[in-house]
Structure 1
């Protein structure tokens, strides 16, 4: 499994001001790292850089010692991002959203259907499998996006505020599944504003106005 390292990374959008400055952190296989901070602190920016969607202004993001070039390179290294906005196709069903992603990842169609059914069931979505995403509630859409990310079984799993619309029971269910991914050997990063969720993770990186403080390592 991969180790993801951020080394003295700074990020800005175009010619704008620096939004992350001199951030360093190592994401280790088998552990869940919580990234915390107020809205606007830079949590999503950090995860997007880890996913190869943003190029650092300074410093480097590397996976197993190789500098991360872009999103395609991240995908090659099995870095899976569950975005905050869920990124689902609204005109497809919950099951179809998973199956399309799995087939694109090289999974044979029959196996993709089996993995889809199993993963949706783990998220309590078995009865919503054939519903269009646009017909699902916000929490159900969020769980569908989580199911898709889990089904892809990445070496690095980046989850961006994926429990914000969930009740306490489903929030705990998702947290348990993320820890299951870590036990499988994945390196998991979980951006969250929930202090109770963060406390259940093995390590925590706290962002304040674009700067990082390691709370637990």
Structure 2
């Protein structure tokens, strides 16, 4: 499995001043790393850099020593991102959103059908498989995005505030699924503002004032 490193990175959006400065962090196979901080602290910024969406101004993002240069390369390296805004196609069904993603990353049609069913079931969405995304509630859409991320079977899983719209039972369900991913050797990075969710993770990196400080190394 893959180790993901961010080394001495300044990370900014466009020509703006860096949101994060001098960040160094390692996400290891088999563990869940919580990234915490208040709204605007840079959680999404850090995960975007890890996912190849936002090249650092200075410093490096490395997957097993290989420089991550853009999103296409990150996908090839097995880096899966579940974004905060879910990124689902409203005109497709829940199942179609997942199947299309699996096929786009090299899965066969048969694999896509199997992985779609396997990822929807533990999130309580089997009955909603053939509903359009626009017909689902906010929480159901969020769970569909999580199911899609799990179905891609990456080596690194970046999850950005993926429990924000979920009730307590579904939050716990998602945390257990992230733990299962870590158990199969995935490096999981979970950005969250929820202290209870962060406490369930193996380590915690806290972002504040543009810097990253280990709360639990």
Instruction: Please name the residue that 1:206 is paired with.
Output: 206
> Counterpart of 2:145?
145
Q: Which runs of 5+ in 2 are unaligned?
A: none
Q: Show the counterpart of 2:19.
A: 19
**TM-align CA RMSD:** 0.7
Kept after mapping to 2: 8 A contact 1:5/1:27? yes
Partner secondary structure for residue 18 of structure 1:
coil
Compare 161-170 and 62-71 and name the one that shifted more.
Answer: 62-71
The separation in 2 between residues aligned to 1:69 and 1:15, in whole angstroms, is 18
- Secondary structure, in 3 states, of the residue corresponding to 2:62? strand
More deviation, 81-90/60-69 = 60-69
- Give the superposition deviation at 1:216: 1.1
Output the CA distance in 1 between the equivalents of 2:191 and 2:62.
19
Report what 2:154 is aligned to: 154
1:162: how far off?
0.2
**1:164-183 aligned within 5 A:** 164-183=164-183
Question: Aligned partners of 2:153, 2:164: CA distance in 1, in Å?
Answer: 22
Shift of 1:14: 2.3
Are the aligned partners of 1:42 and 1:209 in contact in 2 as well (CA < 8 Å)?
no
| Alignment correspondent of 2:30 | 30
The residue correspondences of 1:24-173 to structure 2 (distance < 5 A) are 24-173=24-173
The CA deviation at 1:112 is 1.0
Instruction: Decide whether the 8 Å contact of 1:30 with 1:186 is kept in 2.
Output: yes
CA shift digits 1:96-152 (9 cap, x unpaired): 000101111111112211111111011000110010000000000000000000000
CA contact (8 A) 1:80 1:152 kept: yes
Per-residue CA deviations over 1:20-55 (Å, capped at 9, x if unaligned) read: 100101000000000000000000000000000001
**Larger CA deviation: 62-71 vs 27-36:** 62-71
The alignment's TM-score, normalised by the length of structure 1, stands at 0.99
**What number of residue pairs does the alignment pair up?**
217
Counterpart CA distance in 1 for 2:114 and 2:4 is 30
For the 8 Å contact 1:22–1:211, the answer to whether it is kept is yes
CA contact (8 A) 1:40 1:209 kept: no
Q: 1:6 corresponds to which residue? A: 6
The structure 1 segments of at least 4 consecutive aligned residues displaced by more than 2 Å after TM superposition are none
